[in-house]
Structure 1
Amino acid sequence: MMLDQMLYKYYGYTSFRTGQRETIQSLLDGHNTLAMLPTGTGKSICFELAGYMMEGIVLIISPLLSLMQDQVEQMMKRGEKRVVALNSFLSPIEKRRVLANLQSYKFIFLSPEMLGFGNVIEKLKNLKLSLLVIDEAHCISQWGYDFRPDYLKLGTFRERIGSPLTLALTATATPEVRDDILKKLCVRDATRIEASVNRPNIAFHIEKMEHEHEKKQRAIDLAKSLKQPGIIYFSSKKAAEQLAQLLRENGLTRTMAYHGGLDQEQRILIQEQFINGQLDIICATSAFGMGINKVDIRYIIHYHMPMQIESYLQEVGRAGRDGEPSVAILLYAEGDEQLQFFLAEGELPSIRQLDDFFSYMQLNSMEKEDERIFEEAATANGLTETQWRWLAAYLNDETATTYEEIADKAKSYVIARNSAKMENIKRMKQWINTDGCLRNYLLRYFYESELPELGTHCCDFCGLDLHFYKGSVTGLPRRQENTNWKERLTVLLIGELHEE
Structure 2
Amino acid sequence: MTNKELIKQNLENYFGYTSFRNGQEEAVLAALEGRHTLVMLPTGTGKSICYQLTGYCLNGLVVIVSPLLSLMQDQVEQLKLNGEKRVAAINSLMDVQEKEWVLKHLSQYKFIFLSPEMLHQEYVMAYLTKVPIGLFVIDEAHCISQWGLDFRPDYLDLGLVRTQLNFPLTMALTATATKRVREEILASLYIDDKNTKEIVYSVDRSNIAFSTIICDRDKNQHLMNQIEKLKKPGIIYFSSKKTADEIAELIRSKTTIVAESYHSDIESEDKIKIQQQFVHDEIDIICATSAFGMGINKSNIRFVIHYHLPGSPEAYLQEVGRCGRDGKPSLALLLYEKGDSMIQFRLQEDTLPTVEMLEYGYKKGVTPEGSCSPSQKQLLENYLKSNLSIEIAKQQIKSRIVYKQQQLYYMIDYAETSSCKRRFLLHYFEEKLESKPDSCCSNCNLEIADYYGESDLKQKISSQNEKNWEETLNALFLIGK
Distance 1:183 1:294, change over 3 A: same
> Secondary structure of the residue that 1:260 maps to in structure 2?
coil
Amino acid at match of 2:203: V
Amino acid at match of 1:305: L
The C-alpha deviation readout for 1:295-329, integer Å capped at 9, x for no partner, is 00000000001000001000000001011110000
Conservation of the 8 A alpha-carbon contact between 1:454 and 1:462: no
**1:453 Cα shift?**
4.2
- Partners in 2 of 1:216 and 1:349 — Cα distance? 34
Match of 2:382 among 352, 375, 393: 393
Amino acid at match of 1:111: S
Q: Does 1:440 align with 2:423?
A: yes
Amino acid at match of 1:202: I
Match of 1:55 among 30, 35, 59: 59
Greater alpha carbon shift after TM alignment, 291-300 vs 425-434: 425-434
Match of 2:184 among 171, 180, 194: 180
**1:476 Cα shift?**
4.2
Greater alpha carbon shift after TM alignment, 193-202 vs 14-23: 14-23
**1:240 Cα shift?**
0.3
* Cross-structure match for 1:466: 448
Q: Does 1:199 align with 2:205?
A: yes
Conservation of the 8 A alpha-carbon contact between 2:133 and 2:168: yes
**1:253 Cα shift?**
4.2
Match of 1:307 among 307, 311, 324: 311
Q: Does 1:167 align with 2:182?
A: no
* Cross-structure match for 2:87: 83
> Secondary structure of the residue that 1:167 maps to in structure 2?
strand
Identical positions, percent: 48
> Secondary structure of the residue that 2:102 maps to in structure 1?
helix
Amino acid at match of 1:461: N
Q: Does 1:13 align with 2:17?
A: yes
Distance 1:152 1:430, change over 3 A: same
* Cross-structure match for 2:369: 379
* Cross-structure match for 1:485: none
* Cross-structure match for 1:416: 399
> Secondary structure of the residue that 1:378 maps to in structure 2?
coil
The C-alpha deviation readout for 1:35-82, integer Å capped at 9, x for no partner, is 001000011100001110111111100000110010001100111011
Conservation of the 8 A alpha-carbon contact between 1:51 and 1:58: yes
- Partners in 1 of 2:382 and 2:433 — Cα distance? 40
Match of 1:260 among 264, 273, 276: 264
- Partners in 2 of 1:47 and 1:313 — Cα distance? 23
Greater alpha carbon shift after TM alignment, 467-476 vs 279-288: 467-476
- Partners in 2 of 1:82 and 1:122 — Cα distance? 20
**1:409 Cα shift?**
2.5
- Partners in 1 of 2:421 and 2:404 — Cα distance? 21
Match of 2:234 among 230, 236, 253: 230
> Secondary structure of the residue that 1:461 maps to in structure 2?
coil
Amino acid at match of 2:40: M
Conservation of the 8 A alpha-carbon contact between 2:361 and 2:380: no
Conservation of the 8 A alpha-carbon contact between 2:62 and 2:110: yes
The runs of 5 or more residues in structure 2 that have no matched partner are 465-481
Conservation of the 8 A alpha-carbon contact between 1:224 and 1:252: no
Match of 2:35 among 20, 31, 34: 31
- Partners in 2 of 1:62 and 1:476 — Cα distance? 36
- Partners in 2 of 1:446 and 1:358 — Cα distance? 37
Amino acid at match of 1:386: S
**1:348 Cα shift?**
1.0
**1:477 Cα shift?**
5.1
Amino acid at match of 1:462: C
Conservation of the 8 A alpha-carbon contact between 1:391 and 1:410: no
Match of 2:72 among 54, 61, 68: 68
> Secondary structure of the residue that 1:231 maps to in structure 2?
strand
Runs of 4+ in 1 over 3 A off after TM superposition: 356-359, 474-478
- Partners in 2 of 1:358 and 1:447 — Cα distance? 39
The C-alpha deviation readout for 1:252-294, integer Å capped at 9, x for no partner, is 3410000111111111111111111111100000110000000
Amino acid at match of 2:375: T
* Cross-structure match for 1:290: 294
Task: Within 5 Å, give how 1:205-224 maps onto structure 2.
Answer: 205-211=211-217, 214-224=218-228
The runs of 5 or more residues in structure 1 that have no matched partner are 362-367, 369-373, 482-500
Task: Within 5 Å, give how 1:449-460 maps onto structure 2.
Answer: 449-455=432-438, 457-460=439-442
Size of the aligned set, in residue pairs, is 456
* Cross-structure match for 2:471: none
Amino acid at match of 1:427: Y
CA RMSD across the alignment: 1.6
- Partners in 2 of 1:452 and 1:83 — Cα distance? 42
TM-score (ref. length: structure 2): 0.92
> Secondary structure of the residue that 1:277 maps to in structure 2?
coil
**1:413 Cα shift?**
1.6
Match of 1:46 among 28, 50, 55: 50
**1:378 Cα shift?**
2.4
- Partners in 2 of 1:30 and 1:477 — Cα distance? 48
**1:408 Cα shift?**
2.1
The C-alpha deviation readout for 1:132-156, integer Å capped at 9, x for no partner, is 0000000000111210011011000
Amino acid at match of 2:54: A
> Secondary structure of the residue that 1:379 maps to in structure 2?
coil
The C-alpha deviation readout for 1:386-413, integer Å capped at 9, x for no partner, is 211111111111x34xxxx2x3232222
**1:106 Cα shift?**
0.6
Conservation of the 8 A alpha-carbon contact between 1:299 and 1:319: yes
TM-score (ref. length: structure 1): 0.89
Conservation of the 8 A alpha-carbon contact between 2:145 and 2:184: yes
> Secondary structure of the residue that 2:368 maps to in structure 1?
helix
Q: Does 1:281 align with 2:263?
A: no
